[in-house]
Amino acid sequence: MSTSTTARTVASDDAPGWWRRNRWAVAALPVALTLALVASGDRVRTLWWIHDLRVPTTGQVGETVTFRQQVDGAVGAEPVDVRVRLDRVHDAATLPDDMVLPAGSRAVQVDLTLSADPDIVLAGCSLAVRDAAGTRYEYVALGWGAMQPVAPCVPEDAPGPMPSLGDLDDELADSDSPPRPTTWEVSPVIVVPDGVEVADVVLWWHMPQYLELEAPGRDT
């Protein structure tokens, strides 16, 4: 059974820029809620299966893994096709701006290298670390005073295309955003309790499929 950390959101002076960079994610919330309500009409057994991480694509330490999936969106299915390598998991030497760690916790930085066609939609990703017992500690964009990127798997300033929201696409398009590079690195920070040893890193777009990357030995 998995658990996730929860966040306390605190405003900062950088809020306007953050909202502009992540306006698509905010606009997508009503669509996500609608899809969730539609899904609630499915059978309980089906919901139990698809609303957790159950179908892994696994990678060993230092291995570059290809992950493919068809993700249902507001206007149809879109492909996820990406190559991912976990480079390092370590205590963050520098915290995200304005982050204040709660007592009894520490910040873990996850260094990833990813490659994908610039036209592939990847911005709807989620990230977590797990211990040997399978307890899951999820990445939180707005928490502990910090404002990290909404999508932990793409460059904040060049996230690439967003999932289509139909008629809203033209209004939300950012003509100033450069195309996403074919290969890039990200280093999101996840807050975990003191004493947690990270066994693996998990990355997903739509459950139950997910990418499971074995973590190297703890590096401080």
Tens digit of each residue's pLDDT (9 = 90 or more) over 92-120: 999 999 999 999 999 999 999 999 999 99
Supply the DSSP string of 143-210, one letter for each residue.
ETTEE--S-TTS-TT--------GGGHHHH--TTSPPPPSEEEE--EEEEETTPPP-EEEEESSTTEE
- pLDDT at residue 77, rounded to an integer: 82
Answer with the residue of higher pLDDT: 212 or 38.
212
The pLDDT value recorded for residue 101 is: 97
Structural domains in the chain (count): 1
Domain annotation covers residue 9? no
pLDDT on residue 2: 45
The CATH number given to whatever domain includes residue 125 is 2.60.40.1240
Mean pLDDT of 82-88: 98
Tell me the pairing of strands 55-59 and 209-214: parallel
Residue 3 lies in a domain: no
pLDDT grade for 15, boundaries at 50, 70 and 90: low
**Overall average pLDDT of the 52-62 stretch:** 95
Structure tokens at 172: 């939300």
pLDDT value at 191 more than 90? yes
Domain limits at 156? 15-214
Q: Does residue 6 lie in a domain region?
A: no
Q: Which tens digit of pLDDT belongs to each residue from 146-173?
A: 999 999 999 999 999 887 665 555 555 6
pLDDT above 60 (res 13): no
